[in-house]
Amino acid sequence: MAGTRRFILFELNEVPLRVVRHFAGRKPGSSFAKVLARGRHWTTVTPDEGHLSPWITWPTLHRGVSSADHRIAALGQDVRAADRKFPPVWNVLANAGRRVGMFGSLHSYPPPDDLGPYDFYVPDTFAAGPEAKPAELAAFQQFNLHMVDRSGRNVSGELPVRQALPFLLRSLPAGIRPGTMAKIARQVASERIWRHRTARRRTILVFYNPGNNQPIERTTVSRYDLGDLFKSAWDPDKQPDQWKAVADIVAARDPANIAINTSDMFAFADGMTLSQYKEMMAALPEKYDLGDAYERVRTAENRSLDQMAIYGPAAKQLLTSEQVRKLPPFIALFLDNRAIRQVRPGRAGGGRGGFFGG
């Protein structure tokens, strides 16, 4: 329609605006840089209460009501009742006669009964089925859902040729350009050859106590510094294996104890999975025999509780009495120094040469 303004609602999940601005500064010709320069920016505050997750807060944005109203709290949840009472923005626009395209927004499955107003419609990656418009995109969605299913707990390194072939054959008619496919192929090939180029979310924080009242050394075994608190101690080009990089730090300092982030009682002090524990133990310096390695490694549960005893009450001072009353009990517990001391399962050691991470 003449005079109608077109717009794109681009959803970028769990990426702070400062990261986008940093990228735009480094890539001034990118689409992000153009959007920041020409677009408008608003800061919003979610009214949701309790546990905040993308699958809870995105529906709040899409529907204009809080989680107390839309009641959407889990991936794969049947949202048809919520759609009728609080329709998402794409349905509102379509029902108003606008031409709409929707791709990948959370809780967009099942598709609307009438897809006529939609130029394209591809539900999110947790959909129960591959339905999509146009039909050519169903092959992409089938491949997409297969990859998500295969990587539900641990990222799969499989290349599913049988599922990828129909997608590749139907991608060009669906509008995916050959140049885009070439970029994807180059990225996949580089990740297969240089494993450290695979995107990973694991961040390993390492603290080392050199003793003699010297300051605690803080480093992160990740690609980047974490603000001014943790300096990166890992160069993937020199040592592609992240756990081997941890082992190099251990070997260089040779600590008497290696305290890890595990706990039988507290989730926040239990950040290391069994598979990560195995990888760490396998990567420890070869000069440690198995018995020596097990002798040095111990839980840092009490260390975590001691830190919470410091930071919890400080965080409480930032909250009003009403906000504290609304907190779930398992969170409020860690704002009370006395409560933390009561549940602390013993005193932690910590002499010279302590080393702990998670």
Cβ-proximal residues to 233 (8 Å cutoff; 6+ apart), any chain: 206, 219, 220, 221, 245, 249
Confidence (pTM): 0.62
d(CA 258, CA 297): 5
d(CA 324, CA 98): 44
d(CA 73, CA 147): 23
Q: How many CA atoms lie within 13 A of 53 on its CB side?
A: 9
Q: Which residue has the tokens 């998670």?
A: 358
pLDDT at 82: 95
What is the mean pLDDT, run by run of 10 residues, along the chain of 358 residues? Answer: 71 86 91 87 82 90 94 91 96 94 95 93 93 89 86 65 76 75 83 68 86 90 84 86 90 86 69 81 78 68 68 83 79 73 52 43
Contacts 24+ apart (CB under 8 A), 37-43: 41/17
* H-helix segments, 255-300: 274-283, 290-296
CB neighbours of residue 195 within 10 Å: 14
For the chain, domain boundaries: 17-151+160-170, 204-357
Strands 204-209 and 217-221: antiparallel
3-state secondary structure of 308: helix
Cβ-proximal residues to 106 (8 Å cutoff; 6+ apart), any chain: 54, 55, 58, 59, 75, 124, 126
Return the closest-CA partner of residue 110 out of 124, 95, 93, 96: 124
Burial 58-76 (b: 16+ CB within 10 A, else e): bbbebbebbbeebbbeeee
* H-helix segments, 194-273: 242-253
Task: Please say whether the beta carbons of 211 and 232 come within 8 A.
Answer: no
d(CA 162, CA 155): 19
